[in-house]
Structure 1
């Protein structure tokens, strides 16, 4: 159920709470990508292993001013099937499905001091609402400009993999080629010629693939990078199906002569900086680099400022001309 803490916070459980009437306009005004749509957050909450809560922080006039997406690790997962607010767990501020962007944002242009005050309301409300049992809050994917805004006198800051951003100031993809080292430019052109037997298309994801079809390739790619004692779970099929159906999600697809999907990349569209979200391909297919070329061609033609390429393989993406933007995890004591 919806919980209000002193009027300053509205805490939503997207599994049970209806979408607030202001949500779509609020997210659109802040330039949020598809992962922040309420319907997709609802699917993410139902398929998550840990509780997921949305906190809307209001300003002094009562208007929605900030949104914080929180997952709760630990003992809270045991009672997650029940309604209501979980009693225990470590609040981790992150948005499901998009590890390359932070889990909080603000409505409108906010001064640094106001941003800090709004996030302090979230922290105080979290302490009052959840009670004892949480040593602090973990904030993921903070940028350098976010560091002063995250409240907490006692905190630990650690760098994460940087997020790659490939600007597209050119009139066509030849401008990008010209900016690359000669060897990389030659490799990309040679790979394009070698893929002439495949049908490559870029457009709305719903018109080019299905969630189930794309999942098989995306899961295979995830398996290659899943390691450690606590590997991240694979993307849930209901989440992928819901995401692919959205009009603001694009795809680059490669199909062979039998119409079999050989490679797929999904992109979360944005007026300026679309996010290259996930990639997957059949074994022995050399499509990875060509997909960057196709998507950059699309971004230039669509008038986008560039592409956010995510957090993996930073050195490789830098070789494609991407800027590596520092990113941090901040652990703060409650």
Structure 2
């Protein structure tokens, strides 16, 4: 349907008319968004989504609700685009709480002059990611702002999920003796975005790790229902998650540098630029904390899933004096350094 959108000129770009509430806006919604997302055309015309409470109640006894805004430069990169990020990020925020994602909303802020072809690719990526995760995008909104008022396109997504009664996962539930795992290589997304910008002429062929993790989480919880903590490591990377875990659970987290899975090209980029993969963003990685008796079962469950084939045990939790949390990194020579909470932003506009 490319080229049929009302209000699109010969250059194929979004205009302010597409946010004005008239025929151009209706054409944008119908031909771009509803064409990709709507499963029920009549229901899609309403100002709200309507969900069956009985169907939700059959899946669990609590609702999980999350929201997030996504900004990234460039909008498209190896392994995905801002639409992939928006769906995967929201699905993963639900999944790491033990919730089965059910439905998402999506709000778009479009800059005047945005190429229609770019918008179509972003929306199609969202539809594909939602289908992969088994969720529906059921409602949304669109605004158009003057040129240069935003960097092309911003997306805000919210999601609801249902938590099964047997699960009670919290970042504050870590206990001394627990084991810390990750499901794969660290820092892939942050390194891929850095390379995609082209500012530093890096030749690494890196792809973002964008992925919906809910099926991996399902496999993990089926194998090990007694997961204490789980968190996806996005901004701030694994270092940020571990510091939140240490502070909120009041424990000492000790991780071994030799156990950290890092892609060789990510390691190379970090060495050149003086970065640490522990602080780089991920969009398809999670940190899991389980009792020691379940560590090997959890590792096997993750390695048995395509998104966990490089899973690894990276550390343990210990009692902390006065319950003041801290994170220690033990290097290959037995030396220890304190891994602090990230300060500032290493890479702007990464997610």
TM-score clears 0.5: no
Q: TM-score, normalised by structure 1?
A: 0.25
Q: TM-score, normalised by structure 2?
A: 0.24
